[in-house]
Every structure is written in structure tokens, then in C-alpha cells.
Structure 1
Amino acid sequence: MFQHLFAEMNKMLQEIAEDFPTAEGARRNDLLCKYNMLHRLSDEVMDEWLVFAEKLSDFRQNADFSPPSEEEMPQIEAPELAMDSFVRGQGYYKLLMYRKCIEQFKQVITRYPDSLAARLYLAMAYLQEGELDVSWGHLHHMLALIREKKLKAMIYNALGCIRASQGRYPEAQELFSLSLQHDPLLPEPSVNLEVCRRRGGKLQFGHQLVSLL
């Protein structure tokens, strides 16, 4: 499951090791950024693995491993999460390799077109690549699938940010207003409405939405 992620991390580390001794200027800074990212990911993986290993051990000691009957077999709510393409796509996203991330999640939605998680990864990856209209399409697709008001509010806010980035402020204002209708306590739409009013400023995409990835 994780082989692809570690293969890419090793490939990136090899590039750093080969080029860093002679790198200068912007290239050296780029390699340092990649090294810091790999170091951070390595620490996160180790921390998460230690927590997981402890929980796995606790479960193994207390669980009943007798096989259930067919009637008791649970149904997987989001089977796409087990796809290799999904796991690889997540890894590419963490490595900021958005184009490869897109390739993987396009395979996921071919099989599971209504996967909210896959659509969100695609929307964010396309956004990072500057393909705003494609990102819009995936976010808009999600709206029809979402029932939870807070999440719908975050999607409307993200759509508003895309339109505001394109200078389409009246449309953006409508979307930010819809966001507030679904969740009046969400702070970003109010800030973004002020950006639209001034026709300039920093848009607040919403850290809560990004944190879902």
C-alpha cells in the first residue's frame, strides 16, 4: 500500500543527494525545501506508525477473531479508500506532486464517480495546478452529494474563491452568501465578501476544508 509513496520519497531524496553538493541559488533553495518536506513527512510517518502500532497491539490482545457469518459481514461504506490508486494519490498530494495525484484520482472516480474524497483531492490538486474551471467542476459535482450543511458551506466558499480569483465578483458574492446561509458561523465567507467589495485582498479558502485531506 505504501510502496509507491516511499518509492517517490526515495527518488526525491536521491535527486537531492546528487544535486545538492553543486547546487546554487534558486536550485539550492528548491532542494532544501524538498529536503525539509521529506524530513517532516518522515517524522509524521514515524509518529503515526507508533500510535497505530500501539492501537493494533491493544486490539490484537482484546479482539475476538472468530469468523462472522455471512449475514454479519459489514459493508464497506467507502470502498474506494482501499484502492491502490487512492492510496497513491494521497501520497502524491502530500509530496506536492499534483499532476501525478490527479492521474491517480481520475482512475478512482472512473470507478466511483460520486466519491467525495476523490473529488475533493482532484479539486484541490487542479486548484494547485491553476486549472480553476476543472477544480470548479469537481467541487460543483460534490454539492449534489453533500447533505451536511457545514461541509456544503465550505464548498460554496471554495467555489466563491474560484470565481473571485477569476475576477467574477458578483458571482463570487452570491456563492459566499450561500455559504453563510448554510453555516452563519463559518468565518471565511464574511472575509471573502469584504475582498469582493474592495475588489482586492487575500481570499480565505478555508483551512477546515483543506484539513479534510
Structure 2
Amino acid sequence: MFQHLFAEMNKVLQEIVTDYPTAEGARRNELLCNYNMLHRLSDKVMDEWLAFAEKLSHFRESVDFTTVVEEEVPEQEAPELCMDTFVRGQGYYKLLMYGKCIEQFKEVIVQYPDSLAARLYLAISYLQEGEGEAAWNHLNHMLGLIRETKLKAMVYNALGCIRASQERFNEAQELFGLSLQLDPALPEPTVNLEVCRRRGGKLHFGNQLVSLL
């Protein structure tokens, strides 16, 4: 529903980020107008989203969705997904409002400390905010919960990127090595090991991990 809108917004924003530093005259004014338009649109979308989430919450509180059944209803695998704070956090994440996203998911993990989804949202948001150690804590917590080998390999790669960005290359190499042991087909750790060897270069965090959100 929102993919097209956000795709267009990101396209315009990327154009501003790329061109504004060197733009002059009319072009600079055009980019500034586009920025102001995006800012107003972002505020409008956020206001509408929060109003909708509040109405949804009020309805959920006023209606009994439970039904009487003879068979025992299995417990929901991830009950935190129904929390208002989880839904709001997702909304903030999609709007690239990572600080607000962090506030919401910090509340989620108070009640569900082992929520993989909440921990991943927090880790990626902290990385976007430039807070590597905070991201490390959440990714490291995830390692003890993950059963799927490929996902664990991606998390080790992300942890390695954090250490490499801090120029702790020996630690980073160990983490990239663990990632490759779990999933030799994962391309990012191999590239990142070369970055460590050269003591510099572009680290590949892994789009697959981010795409899970």
C-alpha cells in the first residue's frame, strides 16, 4: 500500500542528497523546495499513521475478539507483533525516524526481551543513528536465540562490521570467519575480510539482514 509512496519519497530525497551540496541558483532553490515538500509530507504521513494506530488501539480495547471453542487455542508464536508500540515502531522505521523507532521497540523488549524482530529493529536503527555499541548489544543478544544457520551467519557478519568500523580489525576478522563457517555461500564476509586485511574500505553490512524488516 505504501511502497510506491515511499519509493518516490526516497527517490526525491536521494536526488537532494546527491545534488544539493554542489547545486547553485535555481537548481539549489528547486532542491530546497523539494526538501520542504518531503518534510511536510513526512509530518502529514506520521500524523495520519499515529491517528490511525490510536483508533485501532481503542477499537481493540473495546471489542472482545475471543471466541469460545472446545479445542485449546495455541499460543501465538510472537505476541509482541500485536503490541501498539511494535506497530508504531514499524511505522517510524518505515519513515526513517530511527530515534522514535528506538523509543518504541525499547518498550517492546521490556515485555518481550527475547523478541528477535524487536531486537533487529533496534539494532538496525541504532546503526542508522551511528551508535555501534548499542547495535552490538542487541545483535549479540540475538545470537543466543537464533536457530537458523543463515540468519546467525548474517548477524555475525553485522557484528564484524561494527568492530571493523571501530578499527578493531582482529576481532572483526574472527567474526567474519565465524560467519563464513556457518554459511560459506554468504558473500559479504569475504569482502569484509579483505577490508580488514587492507585496514580500510567499504564494509558490506548485508542487505539480506535489513530486508527481513
Distance in 2 separating the partners of 1:191 and 1:163: 15
Q: Which runs of 5+ in 1 are unaligned?
A: 1-22, 42-66
Q: Are the structure 2 counterparts of residues 28 and 141 from structure 1 closer, same or farther at C-alpha, using a change threshold of 3 Å?
A: same
Q: Which residue of 1 aligns with 2:164?
A: 164
Runs of 4+ residues over 3 Å off in structure 1: 23-38
**In the TM superposition, what is the alpha-carbon distance from 1:26 to its structure 2 partner?**
6.8
- How much identity, in percent, do the aligned residues show? 71
Distance in 2 separating the partners of 1:145 and 1:181: 18
Q: Are the structure 2 counterparts of residues 34 and 206 from structure 1 closer, same or farther at C-alpha, using a change threshold of 3 Å?
A: farther
Per-residue deviation, residues 120-159 of structure 1 (Å, max 9, x unmatched): 0000001111110000000000000011110000000000
**In the TM superposition, what is the alpha-carbon distance from 1:25 to its structure 2 partner?**
7.4
Distance in 2 separating the partners of 1:34 and 1:183: 41
Q: Which residue of 2 aligns with 1:147?
A: 147
Distance in 1 separating the partners of 2:197 and 2:38: 36
**In the TM superposition, what is the alpha-carbon distance from 1:69 to its structure 2 partner?**
2.3
Structure 2-normalised TM-score? 0.71
**In the TM superposition, what is the alpha-carbon distance from 1:37 to its structure 2 partner?**
7.7
Distance in 2 separating the partners of 1:200 and 1:33: 35
Distance in 2 separating the partners of 1:169 and 1:153: 18
**What is the one-letter code of the residue matched to 1:141?**
H
**In the TM superposition, what is the alpha-carbon distance from 1:29 to its structure 2 partner?**
5.2
SS in 2 for 1:156: helix
Q: Which residue of 2 aligns with 1:88?
A: 88
**In the TM superposition, what is the alpha-carbon distance from 1:68 to its structure 2 partner?**
6.4
Distance in 2 separating the partners of 1:83 and 1:137: 23
Aligned residues between the structures: 166
Distance in 2 separating the partners of 1:70 and 1:103: 40
SS in 2 for 1:133: helix
**What is the one-letter code of the residue matched to 1:171?**
E
Distance in 1 separating the partners of 2:145 and 2:164: 24
Q: Which residue of 2 aligns with 1:58?
A: none
Distance in 1 separating the partners of 2:37 and 2:197: 40
Report matched runs for 1:25-174 at 5 Å.
27-28=32-33, 30-31=35-36, 34=39, 69-174=69-174
Distance in 2 separating the partners of 1:200 and 1:36: 39
RMSD: 2.5
**In the TM superposition, what is the alpha-carbon distance from 1:73 to its structure 2 partner?**
1.6
Q: Are the structure 2 counterparts of residues 68 and 183 from structure 1 closer, same or farther at C-alpha, using a change threshold of 3 Å?
A: farther
SS in 2 for 1:203: coil
Structure 1-normalised TM-score? 0.71
Q: Which runs of 5+ in 2 are unaligned?
A: 1-27, 46-66
Q: Are the structure 2 counterparts of residues 211 and 71 from structure 1 closer, same or farther at C-alpha, using a change threshold of 3 Å?
A: same
